[in-house]
Amino acid sequence: MPYVILALPRSRTYWLSRLLGCEHDPSRFFPHRDHAVGYLNDGHDCIDTALGLAWSSIAPALRRDLRVAVIHRAVPDVAASLERIGMPPPLEMLHLLADRLLCIPAMHFPYAELATYEGCARLAHHCSGAILDPFRWEDVAAEPVECDFAAYRRDAMANAHGIAAMYGGEWRR
């Protein structure tokens, strides 16, 4: 069964995408909300740090067997992490997204659980039904991974129209 994991940015999402072997932040390419629905209904697995903003408008059209998980990290910690990499944190948007993530019917995971095999295994089992290989977890846990923020910025700029259609004004409400 397909799954989607929703979270705030800087919540180990890129690392988890490597651990679980799924797409990271595919919504940066979506030209509109219908594309997000189609992508998820076609059975793609992913982790996304922006879909939570539009979740209430796309959820009714999603397949019923889609497994949904939400990772929660404190906004001040996310903001500090964004600051450390030179990205000014959009606090209003982060608070809005955090509030929306709390309301999503899903299995919810605290960020701190992702530092343990047990927490990651519980998340992996919820998402895919599979047992997480402890040796894979050890290998990936030892890797210092960081997504290519320059590439993500380029993707966002190239799809500015699509991002506006997906989220335009959404975070201001």
Task: Compute how many other C-beta atoms are within 10 angstroms of the C-beta atom of residue 12.
Answer: 17
φ/ψ of 7, rounded to 5, equals -165, 165
Positions of E strands within the chain = 3-7, 23-24, 46-48, 67-72, 107-110
Q: Which residue has the tokens 């955090």?
A: 98
**Burial class of residue 27, CB neighbours in 10 A (0-12, 13-18, 19+):** buried
pTM listed for this prediction: 0.90
Identify the DSSP state of 6: E
Domains in the chain: ranges and CATH:
3-172 (3.40.50)
Residue 171: predicted pLDDT:
42
CA nearest 36: which of 159, 125, 123, 149?
159
Q: How do residues 22-55 score in pLDDT, each as one tens digit?
A: 999 999 889 888 999 999 999 999 999 989 989 9
User: Which two three-digit tokens encode residue 118?
Assistant: 């047990």
Run of H or E residues at 55? helix 51-58
User: Which two three-digit tokens encode residue 42?
Assistant: 């076609």
Residue 172: predicted pLDDT:
44
Contacts 24+ apart (CB under 8 A), 151-159: 152/25, 152/28, 155/28, 155/29, 156/28, 159/28, 159/29, 159/30, 159/31
Contact 104, 55 (CB under 8 A): yes
Residue 147: predicted pLDDT:
75
Residue 173: predicted pLDDT:
41
Spans of the chain below 70 pLDDT = 149, 159, 163, 166-173
